Amino acid sequence: MNDMYFASSGQEFLSAREIAELAKTRWIAGFPKTERGVQIYARNCGWVGLGKHLCRKRSGRGGGLEYHFSLLPAGIRTALEGNATKAAIAQRQSVEIDLDQRRLDALKASTLSPRARAVMEARAEILTSIEGYAIANNEKRSWALARFLTAQDACMARQEIEARRDQGGVLTAQEVLSLADPLLLTAPHGFDIDPARLKLANDRKASASIKRSALYEWFKARDTAGVVALAPVPPKTKDKIHPGFAGFLKFYAIGSKPTMTDALGEYLKTNPAPDMRITLSQVQHILRKRLNNIEKNVGREGLLTLRARLPYVTRTTDDMWPTTAYTADGKTFDAEIADPVTHRPIRPEITTIMDVATRKIVGISLGRSENQRSVAEALRNACVGCGIPAIFYVDRGPGYKNKAMDADVSGLMGRLGITKTHARPYGSQAKGLIERPNATVWDTLAKRLPTYMGKDMDKEAGDKIHKITRHEIKEFGRSRHLPTWQEFVKLCEDRVEEYNNRPHGSLPRFEDPVTGRWRTMSPNEAWQAHAASGFEPVSVEAGEVDDLFRPYEIRTCLRAEVKWNTNTYFHADLEPYHETRVMVGYDYHQADKVWVREFDVATGQPGRLICVAEFMGNAERYFPLSFEEKALETRTNTRKQRLENKIEAVEDERRAPYLVEQESAFEMPVFEARDPEAIPSERVQLAVDNTAPKPAARARRTFNSDEELAAWALENPQEISRKQADLLRDCLSRSTARELFRLSGIDTEALRTLLRAVA
């Protein structure tokens, strides 16, 4: 840790005031917070007489002593290391900002003409030469600028003498001697500038010498706006852009990308003034001749799309060791897999973690979505299998940016000692190392399966397999064309092993000892090469695996109870910790107990294990609710609500034709009622059926439950009707019914075989 602090900050000795300020700002317990207190503490600990290599007098006015950082207590050294880490992160962010500015300068420079770019580079070369000459002579820039002007005049005079000599003119003895003297402007120990660069930088046909005021203006422009500001201002062209083109762009430079003809027609419909009307040929000339490929697409394409046309910076990993940085990303698998619970088709989410230096896939996790649990499991597999990384480079998705990952005290990053950095939003190009394997590894595997659903899948073939799988699920509850979850896990593991053993184009080349040919290394070979050079990963001890990766949260203990996830846990050992903050660790799959540890205020990490508290029961649930069960219950309720909303919408659509608007009431004409006529009486005859009764039909057999029907069908396969077969197929398509059949002792596979025969 000492070496790490010194390497990060470069400061070996600290004064008593600096140590006191550090202890005060970081709330170091048991250490003095004043300068005088630190001096007394140092005297009592015997630091003063340890020698100059550990205690020395401070240089400058005032005197005082400075102490070597190795003498400080562990808490102070940890705080120093934290400050050094923050300073390194701030410096890295400053470098990123500088890189962004350079990218912006490159964008501006990309719009320059070749002539303007050459002038800009010549001026930058001259300014750099002047500054280098000043540094070499330990003088100010103004002194070097004056020497440059003198050297420039001497060079101009030399060129005039050489021109007269070449024309046959007579030179004086002094002029002949001056030809042998080296020029300060072109000498390697001087400014080392080619005189032709002066003429190019001046950008004037009449004179090749640069004036003093011009040099100061160049320095001011470069220091203010960068090297791009040294480019000459382009002269105004006689052929100005038509004033109506700006109005045309309001209809043309939009995301829907209308054609020039349509956008011009919409613009002319606004009845612009006569001098603002523009023709199609003028629009075509401006777009094709006056604007470059980036300018003509501004507005029609967003910044993310335009980024593909802009210059970029390539980052290298040649000097990195394995486990220096891991990068991770999630991808939805482009093929359907059978759900391990319902056997219905799903597209699982694959979380992949890759080592940046060797391109090796060090860990994966398979789940229904890219969530906190999937990322934690993938990171666990990577750390246990290949080592703990120093940097974890990920995007800003909810699976990576959450309390369980980033919390100062209980976060997984802090407990593992990993520095997590996020890519910029919508900056997938910055994560190309992991984005590319998502396509080459997982898309290749998806195309090997019949249920592939990528955009390049044949529509006819995709529709066919879709109908087959849905029909089989409806009939038998599962489909033989959908790989099972166990088969999918095995396919993913084999695919990762295949990728790690395959030569990678971005890794170093070497001579294959088997074939004798030169080829690139595979990720596994690159890892082994680093191991042969002395690399050793920071591994996780076998006994610490479970607890190290277990999520912890801060809770307050009340009457020997702690609460997590609406569950209450109790243990008698928690009685002394009443109203005290403790750390509660939990397991994603297990809710019957939690691990309670002391909260170490100094380090902010879980301390000594107090107890393993058991589920005690509460008013909200009779049985404990695990993290996973709660997530599954929430997801099921949400899906059920969505389906109910869809059913209600369908019912409203079905009832719509029968709903008519009430017509307005109309006035009924008045009429006179006629006298009632006498109704003739008739004799009522009774009909008597004297035919003999038919024999009663045999009563249809009824069953009290679906299980009774299934058992009867297996015993009487010849008597089963089509409606009964349809009912049993519907039962087999539901997981709950299949479970009831199994608990009732019914062989579901034999029942499926019977129903296939009936079909």
DSSP lists the bridge partners of residue 556 as 581
Q: CA-to-CA distance for 23 and 32, rounded, in angstroms?
A: 7
Is the separation of the CB atoms in 134 and 241 below 8 Å?
Answer: no
DSSP lists the bridge partners of residue 518 as 511
Phi first, then psi: give them for residue 47, nearest 5 degrees. Answer: -75, -25
Q: CA-to-CA distance for 718 and 599, rounded, in angstroms?
A: 71
Torsion, CA 318, CA 322, CA 325, CA 331, rounded to 10: 100
| Percent composition of the chain: helix, strand, coil (DSSP 3-state, to 5) | 50, 15, 40
Check residue 687 and give its pLDDT.
Answer: 46
Characterize the bridge pairing of strands 349-355 and 325-332: antiparallel
Q: CA-to-CA distance for 556 and 594, rounded, in angstroms?
A: 14
Cα atoms in the 13 Å half-sphere on the side-chain side of 112: 20
Torsion, CA 491, CA 497, CA 501, CA 506, rounded to 10: 90
Q: How far is CA 535 from CA 92, 154, 387, 523, 528, in A?
A: 25, 59, 11, 15, 9
Q: CA-to-CA distance for 707 and 713, rounded, in angstroms?
A: 10
Q: CA-to-CA distance for 593 and 680, rounded, in angstroms?
A: 92
Q: CA-to-CA distance for 8 and 2, rounded, in angstroms?
A: 10
Beta strands in 16-60 (DSSP E): 55-57
Check residue 279 and give its pLDDT.
Answer: 93
Check residue 237 and give its pLDDT.
Answer: 53
Characterize the bridge pairing of strands 325-332 and 391-394: parallel
Is the separation of the CB atoms in 294 and 309 below 8 Å?
Answer: yes
Look-up of token digits 């201002």: 233
Is the separation of the CB atoms in 327 and 393 below 8 Å?
Answer: yes
671-691 confidence digits (pLDDT tens): 555 555 544 544 444 444 455
Q: How far is CA 372 from CA 325, 405, 438, in A?
A: 20, 8, 19
The length of the chain is 759
Please report which residue ranges of 431-520 form alpha helices under DSSP H: 432-437, 444-447, 459-476, 485-500
Over the Cα atoms of the chain, what is R_g? 41
Q: Which CATH number fits domain 550-628: 3.40.1350, 2.30.30, 3.30.70, 3.40.50?
A: 2.30.30
User: In the numeric block, which tokens belong to residue 477?
Assistant: 């509850």
Nearest CA to 407 among 563, 594, 581, 552?
552
Check residue 7 and give its pLDDT.
Answer: 44
Cα atoms in the 13 Å half-sphere on the side-chain side of 495: 22
Look-up of token digits 């808490």: 75
Q: Is 238 helix (H, G, I), strand (E, B) or coil?
A: coil
Which residues, at least 6 apart from 477, have a Cβ–Cβ distance to it below 8 Å? 343, 732, 733, 734, 735, 738, 752
DSSP lists the bridge partners of residue 595 as 585, 612
- The torsion region of residue 458 among left (phi > 0), alpha (psi -120 to 50) and beta comes to beta
The answer to whether the predicted template modeling score (pTM) of the entire model surpasses 0.85 is no
Torsion, CA 250, CA 252, CA 255, CA 259, rounded to 10: 160
User: In the numeric block, which tokens belong to residue 596?
Assistant: 């309670």
HEC secondary structure over 671-719: CCCCCCCCCCCCCCCCCCCCCCCCCCCCCCCCCCCHHHHHHHHHHCCCC
Q: CA-to-CA distance for 551 and 370, rounded, in angstroms?
A: 17
DSSP string, 315-368: PP-TTPPTTSEEEEEEEE-SB-EE-TTT--EE--EEEEEEETTT--EEEEEEES
Is the separation of the CB atoms in 350 and 442 below 8 Å?
Answer: yes
Burial of 189 (C-beta count, 10 Å sphere; 0-12/13-18/19+): exposed
Q: CA-to-CA distance for 757 and 599, rounded, in angstroms?
A: 66
User: In the numeric block, which tokens belong to residue 607?
Assistant: 């301390």
Q: Where are the domains of the chain?
A: 2-97, 112-230, 246-309, 325-500, 550-628, 706-758
Q: Is 184 helix (H, G, I), strand (E, B) or coil?
A: coil
Is the separation of the CB atoms in 586 and 564 below 8 Å?
Answer: yes
Q: CA-to-CA distance for 147 and 207, rounded, in angstroms?
A: 20
Instruction: Return the axis-axis angle of helices 706-715 and 722-732, rounded to nearest 10°.
Output: 120
- The torsion region of residue 6 among left (phi > 0), alpha (psi -120 to 50) and beta comes to alpha
Check residue 168 and give its pLDDT.
Answer: 81
Q: Does domain 325-500 have CATH number 3.30.420.10?
A: yes
Query: For residue 583, how many other CB atoms are within 10 A of its CB?
Result: 22
Is the separation of the CB atoms in 753 and 498 below 8 Å?
Answer: no
Q: CA-to-CA distance for 586 and 381, rounded, in angstroms?
A: 18
User: In the numeric block, which tokens belong to residue 337?
Assistant: 């897999």
Q: What class, spelled out in words, does domain 2-97 have in CATH?
A: mainly alpha
Q: CA-to-CA distance for 352 and 379, rounded, in angstroms?
A: 9
Low-confidence residues of the chain: pLDDT under 50: 1-2, 4, 6-8, 618-619, 659-662, 678-679, 681-689, 692, 696-697
Q: CA-to-CA distance for 10 and 84, rounded, in angstroms?
A: 9
Nearest CA to 279 among 258, 263, 264?
264
* Buried/exposed code over 623-641 (b: 16+ C-beta within 10 A; e: otherwise): ebbbbebebeeeeeeeeee
DSSP string, 602-616: TTTEEEEEEEEEEE-
Q: CA-to-CA distance for 474 and 729, rounded, in angstroms?
A: 7
Distance separating the N- and C-terminal Cα atoms of the chain: 74
231-280 confidence digits (pLDDT tens): 887 665 556 888 899 899 999 999 899 999 999 999 999 999 988 999 99
